[in-house]
Structure formats: C-alpha cells, structure tokens
Homo-oligomer: A and B are copies of this chain.
Amino acid sequence: MLAAAGRSSIDDLFAQIPGSVRLARPLAMPDGVSEMELAADLRDLARRNRSADDLVCFAGGGAYDHYVPSVVWALAGRSELYTSYTPYQPELSQGVLQILFEYQSMVCELTGLEVSNASLYDGATALVEAVHMTIGRGRSRVLVSRGVDPRAVQALRTAGRGTGYEPESFEGEPQVSDDVAAVVVQHPNVYGVLEPVRERFDAAHAGGATAIQIFDPLSLGVLASPGELGADIAVGEGQGLGNHLSYGGPYLGIIAGRMADVRKLPGRIVGETVDVDGRTGYVLTLQAREQHIRRDKANSNICTNQTLMAIAAAVYLAWLGPEGLAELGGQCLSKAAYAAQALTKIPGVSLLSGEPFFKEFTLRLPRSAVEVIDAMVERGFLAGVAMPQAGDDVLVVALTERRSRDEIDGYVVAMEEVLAS
C-alpha cells in the first residue's frame, strides 16, 4: 500500500510534520489492552458507583428515574441507526429521517406548538437556543423566573456573555418593557410547583416579548400544553422519554415553536417531500439557516446533535400512547401527593414549595439536606436533590411512576430514622 501511495515508509507519511513538533516519545499512557481486560476495568469502575440500580431513586432536578421499556433500546439500538451520521445523503438515510419526522410530529402534539426541530443537546442548552431566537430588533433583555432551574440559568449566563445579555431574574409579575426579548418560565418549576404561567405569558405578550416555557414532557398527558398556556417557544429536557440517567448525558434538548419563527429555529429540521418518481420521502430542510451554509450569520452553531436520543424518545412516546402518557402523569401526581403528605407528617419537615405540584416537591428539613442525603444513601435511597441556593435545609424530592407505595413508605421510615438520629 505504501508503494502504491508513492511512499517509502510509514514515517514518510508524516514527513511533512516538522521535526520540532514531532512527538519524539510514545504517549505517556498505558499501551492497549484486550477487550476482556478493558471490560473488566470498566466493570470495576461501574461497580464503584452506587446508582439508581441499587438505590431507590427520589432524585430529580431535571433528570428522572422514569422506566425505560426494553423495546426502546431494542430499536434505537439497531446498528444501522446508531452507526450512521447526519443524513446528508437522504436516499441512504430514510430510516433516521422518517423517525426524526415522527419525533418532530410527536413533539408538536405534546407541546401544542406548530414546529419542532430534530433535537438539541439537552434542556439547558435548549433554553439558551430559545433565548437566542428572541434577541434582536432592539430587544436584548431576558427575564427569567426565579422558578427556573439554576443550572439552566447558569448555562444562559455563560452563553449570554457571548451574545451580549445577562439573564435577570424575576418573581411574580415580570416587568416587560420594550427592550425585553424574552420572558422565561419553568412549569412545573424547579421546586416542582405549578406556576401561573398564563398570566406571566400574558404579561410577556403585552410587553411584546417572547414567552418561553421550560416544560416537562412527561407532564403533558395531564397538564396544559405550552401551546395552551400561550408559550411562543417551549423547551424541555427529554431524558425522561426513554433515555437513561447516564449521570447527566446524553440527554435530549427539545424545542418547539411557532411556524412563523421556523427560520429562526436552531438545528436540523426534517421535512417531507417527494422523489423524482413521486414517492414520499424525507430530507433535511431549511438548511439555509444552519452553520454549514450561513456560517457566521447562522443563529446557532449546532452540528452534531442528539438524534439517537430523539429516536429513543419517538419510540418511547409511541410506546406510551396518549393513554399511557395520561396514566403516567396521573401516577406521578398521585405518588408525589402521597409522599409529600407522609413526609410532612414527620416532625420538623414542612413543604417549602407551595402546592399544587406535579411530580416534584420541595421540603424544608430540620437538618442539612446534604447530610440527610448522605445518611439516606446508607439506607438505600437517593433521597432527592439539595437546593443550596434556597437554603441548606432544602430538599427537592421527585416521584415517578416507577416508585411503589412500598418504596415510598420505606423512604418515609428511613427519613424518620435519619432525622431522629
């Protein structure tokens, strides 16, 4: 092969690299190992974790222990799908393209909005992209409800440094002057509580700003959709839709909006069309928005996205169906209510967040939340998520359809013990 390539040696292939930058030594890391050794190494590492596989998980905060049915990854794990890349050649990619089209359709149904893209990185970056859609025409202020996940706000703050805004937080009624680009509300909010979204969005619209809702896709079988609530753009974390917890990623950034804004929408969008013989087929469309065409004029720099997670979400949503989605929502709602009631009977424990809530609620504990969480791990529970910005004694507890009454009762008993000790 060297000869055919007109080269005399492997070294010759690298001759154009100046000696001064050539690495004169081997890389300072171990040499390769066999699959057998590698798997053993990673198995040992994995076993050093205590995960939701052996701890009963009441942690939420944007990542939830919803059940992932086997069928989801039996299909999303088909290698023709996961070893392909962005469908630049649509004739060879009808599988991925059609599934993304179905995903977009289901996201529109879920959110009650008109158009969805084919995925963003995660919920937090989806918020960044949504806000970015709204900046301009003299509007560059971003009002963010205090109920928005602080991690999402941090991501917004990071991105804002580049684009030139600084998220401002508001509580109650937002003051929407004519320099406000967006009003962001999370619903259910980071404390789990249902917000008076319609009023907030009315205020946004009255001031000419864009209403952005951060939503929980799993709530939308029972809760009013972003579209119904008046959101112009809805973003959410799609992890719960068939994606594993995986210590925070790969997750799924969902974004949906109005058709009028489709050309501002970031990322890939799949459209239906026909081929030269008139057969229905799918392609990436409106590519003129994207970085590879618009370059520094593009709205977003996203290229590689989270397609596989969107595929899993499509399979999961089709698995759920409308009735499943509603039943799941009802289960979350009921189990959260049951758990909150039982926990607040423990002396010293009270609801910090008000009601109503969906699947998460926030407790004030008589002790440091971090300590309680550690003590609960000893008893086999991931007790929830601490929320230091609201107080050291604040704990957010999440309930999914997966938690049984027995598990909840066990959790309550363990919490009593921990708080009594």
Contacts and interface: CB of A to CB of B under 8 A. Distances in A.
Interface of A: 35-36, 39, 67, 69-70, 74, 79, 401-402
The SS class assigned to the A binding surface is: helix
Contact of A69 (B35, B70, B79): B35
Contacts of A36: 67, 69, 401-402
A79 to B, nearest CB: 7
Given A36-B402, A402-B36, A74 B67 contact: no
Contacts of A402: 36
A74 B70 contact: no
Nearest to A74: B79
Contacts of A70: 35, 39
Nearest to A54: B47
Contacts of A35: 67, 69-70
A37 to B, nearest CB: 8
Given A36-B67, A36-B402, A74-B79, 6 more contacts: A35-B67, A35-B69, A35-B70, A36-B69, A36-B401, A39-B70
A358 to B, nearest CB: 20
A70 B40 CA distance: 13
A303 to B, nearest CB: 28
Nearest to A402: B36
Nearest to A319: B35
Nearest to A75: B79
Nearest to A401: B36
Contacts of A69: 35-36
A39 B70 CA distance: 10
A74 B74 CA distance: 11
A35 B67 CA distance: 9
A323 to B, nearest CB: 14
A70 B35 CA distance: 8
9 contacts: A35-B67, A35-B69, A35-B70, A36-B67, A36-B69, A36-B401, A36-B402, A39-B70, A74-B79
